């Protein structure tokens, strides 16, 4: 990205130019007067992508002259001594951002983010611009992304909060002790479309402790399964992100365990499969996270219909569902059920290894989890096995499949069927026709009978 910086003050020009080069990743063209700014923007090679204008004196007149000569298509950030109301929206247009000169660095960060999220400016770096192992790549690894409403729910924090300008560039937006109000939430989350804030990995502990407290409040007050399920989706997304960055350490485990307490408590109040199905229809989010929550809830509803629903069973099934795909690096791999399905996509050797290894890795994670219900790892390890021994990782079948794993597999496929057919005119009867082909024996068949008796079909 090539940025023209029109700034007569040498000291400020150096400071702002350094920030643009090192944070935005831009090539900076330094200009000290208006005629040269117009000439370079209009005729310079290579082309200027954006202009930062801080003429100090007579800034509005300079802006008007610049726009008269260049037009309104060029993204431009105008620095003013205080936010003047002299410029009308007709004069500024959608590609102008006005910032307070007294807060120039934070204002520039916000303005660039706004221009990028609106599509007026490209991201500073193309995907893959920094190679793995490079200083830029390693620097980016120190940050953990947190979905905006989750972070806002626990503000204030003692650490700093960052926004991401590009794949490898982060800028500090909220400093230690800053507090959000409703206007901030509306401004960054809804109006600017900022889905994620970022914390440094070394400063994640305080966030997790506060978020755990929020979950415990949910446990005390929330009984609606949809509300609890949506909260569980947020925790799953957070846990998937942390599993790939800081790992599932004891504090992360305690956050997950607190959420699962709330989930089981809500399921105990409304365990019927039909009720569970009606509640999960409203869940929203990325496939991986919604699927993981749905599968656990449906498994508990199915266990209830089969006469084996109790707190311990619910704990095993919900925790197995939460963890079973947590080790997938690529969330899209959660959509595949079999090796044959995966092979049709031609995704390469690394993705295939990720897919084939994830039941074993997730089971190993469960086995070292603090105070996890017994046999949870067995359910996870076997969730891609099949009665006819066509599954993986061990190609076991029949009586060798753990009973709760069999129930979980049927619920897993019911969740998958529901998500893949949203908006289509399908019924549970359609699911039963498909499921009867692969789940045609023993406890699997009993589980399908329970589904049929509950919904018909």
**CATH number of domain containing 105:** 3.40.50.2300
Q: What is the reported pLDDT for 121?
A: 81
CATH number of the domain bearing residue 284? 1.10.3210.10
| 211 domain-assigned | no
Distance, in Å, from the CA atom of 368 to the CA atom of 162, rounded to the nearest integer, reads 33
Domain's final residue, options 66, 84, 117: 117
Among 148, 169, 201, the domain-final residue is: 201
In-domain check, residue 106: yes
- Rounded distance between C-alpha atoms, residue 386 and residue 401, angstroms: 8
> Poorest-confidence range of 96-100, 190-194, 374-378, 392-396?
190-194
- Over residues 251-291, the pLDDT tens digits come to 999 999 999 999 999 999 999 999 999 999 899 989 999 99
**CA distance to 142, 348, 356, per residue, from 352 (Å):** 27, 6, 6
Has residue 131 got a pLDDT over 50? Answer: no
Write out the H or E segment, with its range, that includes residue 430.
helix 428-438
Residues 276 and 420 in one domain: yes
* pLDDT attached to residue 391: 94
Is the residue at 126 inside a domain? no
- Same domain, residue pair 78 and 160: no
Mean pLDDT of the chain: 86
Q: Are residues 281 and 392 in the same domain?
A: yes
Give the number of domains in the chain: 3
State how far the Cα of 335 lies from the Cα of 327, in Å rounded to an integer.
14
Asked if residue 409 and residue 378 are part of one domain, the reply reads: yes
- Check whether residue 255 and residue 356 sit in a common domain: yes
Residue 217 lies in a domain: no
Residue 212: inside a domain: no
Q: Are residues 85 and 149 in the same domain?
A: no
Cα gap 313→415, rounded to integer Å: 19
- The answer to whether residue 406 is domain-embedded is yes
**244 and 360, same domain (yes or no):** yes
Q: Are residues 246 and 179 in the same domain?
A: no
Distances (CA, A) of 278 to 233, 416, 435: 17, 16, 21
Span 150-158, average pLDDT: 80
Is residue 190 in some structural domain?
Answer: yes
Same domain, yes or no, for 108 and 183? no
Instruction: For the chain, give the percent of residues with pLDDT over 70.
Output: 89
**Domain check: are 86 and 172 in the same one?**
no
State whether 107 and 235 are in the same domain. Answer: no
Q: Which of 69, 88, 117 is the last residue of a domain?
A: 117
100 and 230 part of one domain: no
Predicted confidence (pLDDT) per residue in 368-425, tens digit:
888 899 999 999 999 999 999 999 999 999 889 999 999 999 999 999 999 998 878 8
Q: What is this structure's pTM?
A: 0.73
The reported pLDDT for the residue numbered 123 is 62
Spell 221-253 as b/e; 16+ CB within 10 A means b.
Answer: ebeebebbbbbbbbbbbbbbebbeebebeeebb
Instruction: Confirm whether 185 is domain-assigned.
Output: yes
Q: 435: domain range?
A: 222-455
Question: What DSSP string runs through 75-89?
Answer: -EEEEESS--S-S-H
What does the pLDDT read at residue 27? 86
Please tell me the predicted confidence (pLDDT) of residue 138. Answer: 63
């Amino acid at each position: 990205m090539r940025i023209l910086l029109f700034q007569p003050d040498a000291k400020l020009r150096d400071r702002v130019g350094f920030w643009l080069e090192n944070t935005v990743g831009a090539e900076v063209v330094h200009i000290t007067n208006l005629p040269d700014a117009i000439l370079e923007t209009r005729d310079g090679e290579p082309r200027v992508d954006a202009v930062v204008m801080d003429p100090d004196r007579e800034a509005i007149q300079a802006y008007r002259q610049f726009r008269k000569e260049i037009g309104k298509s060029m993204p431009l950030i105008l620095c003013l001594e205080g936010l003047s109301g002299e410029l009308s929206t007709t004069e500024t247009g959608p590609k102008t951002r006005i910032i307070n000169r007294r807060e120039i660095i934070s204002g520039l960060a916000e303005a660039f983010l706004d221009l990028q999220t609106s599509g007026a400016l490209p991201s500073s770096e193309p995907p893959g611009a920094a190679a793995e192992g490079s200083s830029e790549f390693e620097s980016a690894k120190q940050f953990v992304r947190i979905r905006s409403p989750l972070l806002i729910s626990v503000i204030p924090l003692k650490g700093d909060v960052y926004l991401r300008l590009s794949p490898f560039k982060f800028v500090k937006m909220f400093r230690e002790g800053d507090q959000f109000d409703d206007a901030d939430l509306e401004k960054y989350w809804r109006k600017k479309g900022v889905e994620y804030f970022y914390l440094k990995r070394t400063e994640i502990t305080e966030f997790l402790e506060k978020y755990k407290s929020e979950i415990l409040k949910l446990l005390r007050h929330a009984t609606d399964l949809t509300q609890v399920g949506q909260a569980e989706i947020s925790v799953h997304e957070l846990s998937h992100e942390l599993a790939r960055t800081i790992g599932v350490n004891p504090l992360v485990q305690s956050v997950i365990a607190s959420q699962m307490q709330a989930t089981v408590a809500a399921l105990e109040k409304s365990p019927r499969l039909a009720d569970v199905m009606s509640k999960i229809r409203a869940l929203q989010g990325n496939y991986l996270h919604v699927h993981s929550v749905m599968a656990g809830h449906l498994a508990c509803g199915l266990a209830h219909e089969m006469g084996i629903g109790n707190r311990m069973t619910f704990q095993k099934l919900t925790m197995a569902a939460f963890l079973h795909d947590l080790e997938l690096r690529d969330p899209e791999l959660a959509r595949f059920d079999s090796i044959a399905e995966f092979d049709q996509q031609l995704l390469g050797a690394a993705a295939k290894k990720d897919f084939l290894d994830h039941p074993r890795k997730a089971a190993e994670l469960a086995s070292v989890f603090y105070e996890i219900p017994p046999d949870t790892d067995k359910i996870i390890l076997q969730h891609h096995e099949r009665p006819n021994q066509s599954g993986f990782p061990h190609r076991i079948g029949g009586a060798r499949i753990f009973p709760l794993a069999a129930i979980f597999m049927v619920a897993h496929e019911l969740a998958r069927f529901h998500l893949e057919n949203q908006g289509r005119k399908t019924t549970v009867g359609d699911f039963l026709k498909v499921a009867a082909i692969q789940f045609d024996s023993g406890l699997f068949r009993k589980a399908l009978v329970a589904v049929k008796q509950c919904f018909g079909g």
